[in-house]
A and B are shown apart, each in its own frame.
Chain A
Amino acid sequence: MEMPTINTRAQQMDAEVISNKRLGAYNHIVLAVNEIATYAKPGNFVAISVGGAGSSMVLRRAFAIYRAQIRPDGQGVMELVVAPHGNGSKWLASREPGESVNIVAPLGTAFGIPTEPVRALLIGGGYGSAPLFALAENLKAKGCRVDMVLGASTAAKIYAPLEGKRSVNSMTLTTDDGSAGTRGRVSDVLPSIIEQNQIEIIYSCGPMAMLSAITDIANRFGVIHQCSVEESMACGIGVCMTCVLPVEGRDGITRMVRTCIEGPVMDGSKVTWSKSREIPDGVWGK
């Protein structure tokens, strides 16, 4: 059995904050990085040390990479969309340009890009939309049709920058409170979009309950579903064993796998989605 390894391009470095702007409920942060900008692919994440030296926050925080590129002036940049929820993300969201943060990136798996043009549906929940815009650009470059559905509890929590909207063929919004788009969940609007646009592949990123609901719909329609999961992590580099999910392997055996290494992007149909706080029956080593 081959032992899975972490993203071979991952590096640890101090990255200077180039800019940090408030956008609705989120912060858009641009970091100066080295050549890792060319290796980071949509779906990969970055693990950031928070709180500064001597902080009581001892664990790294994982963030999906919104976009990474080498600028025309040669500077590598990595962009993040951060929701200032807890103390760690609040600390990050309050960094001023010129300050540095310690990062490890790129980490984890990336969304798979089909070799042939396909009809793709991208679904994001809340700040889960962050990695989808760079993915949409890559898919468009391959000649794919790209439809997007973004959902959140309320309009202010939908992250959809203007340039992102331009990179998709259609954009559907849903909010729990009806303050933008259709009132309801993303799963409410999926069946009709899948049918109308003859969707062949779904890419998703957002809360686990949403990914679970999308998996059910994708399975029903026989559509491939690549999802980026969100399980809390302590390290991001495969050593703490906290971010595990039950996932079926190629050998048909379901194991508790590290989502920082074998994810965050996974085949939704292989994940045992469960709300219970127990290891599902049949998992290897239960």
Chain B
Amino acid sequence: MMETNYTFDFSTALADRRIPNPILTASGTAGSGKELSQFFPLSDIGAVVTKSIMLKPRSGRATPRMAETPSGMLNSIGLQGPGIDIFLENDIPWLVSQGARIIVSIAGETVEDYAVLARKLRSVPGITALEVNISCPNVENRGQVFACNPATAREAISAVRRNIGGELPIFAKLSPDVTDIVSIATEVVDAGADGLALINTILGMVIDTNTMFPRLSQKTGGLSGPAIRPVAVRAIYQVHAALPNVPIIGMGGVASGRDAFELVLAGASAISVGTATFGNPTAAISIKEELENILIEKGFATFHQAIGFAHREEI
């Protein structure tokens, strides 16, 4: 056992913003924040990533919206939410009042939507960063997923960059459902993204063998949970290798400190916890504590030292 008479530095940087620890909620898995605040103070985690907010109120998709799968689940919520105006009026002031650091996730149906959302957010106080969701699998037409095509990914991100001003860091959330995620990542960084959020859910389907129809009303849904963790590790590893200076918010099936550590070794500067929260409301807190213990046990003096550590040369 090594001496630990120093204070372990658990803080991390999201572009030019520093947060006290690297554990975040994953977009769309923390409600408005209020629900989880009954189980732990939101200021105890690095930041709350909000649900992906759109321009207008949105009902989301019909039920069934969910199917459990081996070590995971499919969802087709369809970005249910109140729209940006009500969100700014209710959610943001409440999160600020809790002392939570806030990463606002935004999603648009058109490039113009992203531009308008960025303009509405540019002068809102209390926001640490933007996560630009260009990869939701539950949009009207899967063919329109911005992150599946370098050109549309670029358009959406540059629209946000142009309209947000130079202040707020923006993280582009990408889909793993592409042939070459590195080329998409390179494109959005070139278009002005300060960082990346990897990975969104993977498109999947479950067929009910009793009814002999797809289980979800929308037939397809996004797969999340530990089942997709190796895909997340692979995507983060590949992108970090190509773009070592671009901060990555890693996510995909993290359910323990060990899992979070795996994504950090691959190259993540922060870790979002999503599906694990459904099974355990205090998952983010236990993962944070476990990760800190693992890092100290392994002999890291700072969290920063561990980022991308799996990329070091073998001796």
Whether the Cβ atoms of B80 and A285 lie closer than 8 Å is yes
Chain A residues with CB below 8 A from B68, complex form: 57-59, 234
Whether the Cβ atoms of B80 and A241 lie closer than 8 Å is yes
Distance (whole angstroms) from the CB of A241 to the closest CB of chain B: 5
Whether the Cβ atoms of B73 and A1 lie closer than 8 Å is no
B72 in the interface (beta carbon within 8 A): yes
Whether the Cβ atoms of A238 and B31 lie closer than 8 Å is yes
Whether the Cβ atoms of B75 and A10 lie closer than 8 Å is no
**How far does the alpha carbon of A49 sit from the alpha carbon of B225 in the complex, in Å?**
15
**How far does the alpha carbon of A277 sit from the alpha carbon of B217 in the complex, in Å?**
5
**How far does the alpha carbon of A10 sit from the alpha carbon of B64 in the complex, in Å?**
26
> Could you tell me how many residues of chain B have their Cβ less than 8 Å away from some Cβ of chain A?
48
Tell me the A254-285 residues at the B interface (CB within 8 Å): 255-256, 261, 276-279, 283-285
**How far does the alpha carbon of A232 sit from the alpha carbon of B38 in the complex, in Å?**
22
**How far does the alpha carbon of A102 sit from the alpha carbon of B275 in the complex, in Å?**
17
**How far does the alpha carbon of A243 sit from the alpha carbon of B56 in the complex, in Å?**
22
Chain B residues with CB below 8 A from A243, complex form: 63
Distance (whole angstroms) from the CB of A258 to the closest CB of chain B: 9
Chain A residues with CB below 8 A from B38, complex form: 5-6, 8, 10, 237
Chain A residues with CB below 8 A from B66, complex form: 232-234, 240, 242
B279 in the interface (beta carbon within 8 A): yes
Distance (whole angstroms) from the CB of B72 to the closest CB of chain A: 6
A92 in the interface (beta carbon within 8 A): no
Q: How many residue pairs at the A-B interface have CB separations less than 8 Å?
A: 124
**How far does the alpha carbon of A56 sit from the alpha carbon of B175 in the complex, in Å?**
24
B276 in the interface (beta carbon within 8 A): yes
Residue of B nearest to A256 (CB): B59
**How far does the alpha carbon of A60 sit from the alpha carbon of B73 in the complex, in Å?**
12
A104 in the interface (beta carbon within 8 A): yes
Whether the Cβ atoms of B60 and A256 lie closer than 8 Å is yes
Whether the Cβ atoms of B77 and A239 lie closer than 8 Å is no
Whether the Cβ atoms of A239 and B63 lie closer than 8 Å is no
Whether the Cβ atoms of B80 and A278 lie closer than 8 Å is no
Residue of A nearest to B213 (CB): A277
**How far does the alpha carbon of A222 sit from the alpha carbon of B82 in the complex, in Å?**
34
Whether the Cβ atoms of A12 and B281 lie closer than 8 Å is yes
Distance (whole angstroms) from the CB of A255 to the closest CB of chain B: 7
B35 in the interface (beta carbon within 8 A): yes
With beta carbons under 8 angstroms apart, the residue of B58, B62, B276 that contacts A58 is B276
**How far does the alpha carbon of A159 sit from the alpha carbon of B181 in the complex, in Å?**
54
B94 in the interface (beta carbon within 8 A): yes
Whether the Cβ atoms of A234 and B217 lie closer than 8 Å is no
A286 in the interface (beta carbon within 8 A): yes
Whether the Cβ atoms of A59 and B279 lie closer than 8 Å is yes
Whether the Cβ atoms of A237 and B75 lie closer than 8 Å is no
Distance (whole angstroms) from the CB of A283 to the closest CB of chain B: 5
Whether the Cβ atoms of A237 and B281 lie closer than 8 Å is yes
Chain A residues with CB below 8 A from B75, complex form: 234, 240, 242
Whether the Cβ atoms of B90 and A283 lie closer than 8 Å is no
Whether the Cβ atoms of A239 and B86 lie closer than 8 Å is no
**How far does the alpha carbon of A223 sit from the alpha carbon of B36 in the complex, in Å?**
37
With beta carbons under 8 angstroms apart, the residue of B63, B70, B77, B280 that contacts A56 is B70
A-B contact list, 19 entries, CB within 8 Å: A5-B34, A6-B38, A12-B39, A49-B280, A56-B70, A58-B73, A58-B226, A58-B275, A60-B279, A231-B63, A232-B66, A234-B73, A239-B35, A239-B277, A241-B60, A277-B63, A285-B57, A285-B59, A285-B80
**Residue ranges of A at the interface with B (Cβ–Cβ < 8 Å):** 1, 3, 5-6, 8, 10, 12, 49, 56-60, 102, 104, 231-235, 237-245, 255-256, 261, 276-279, 283-286
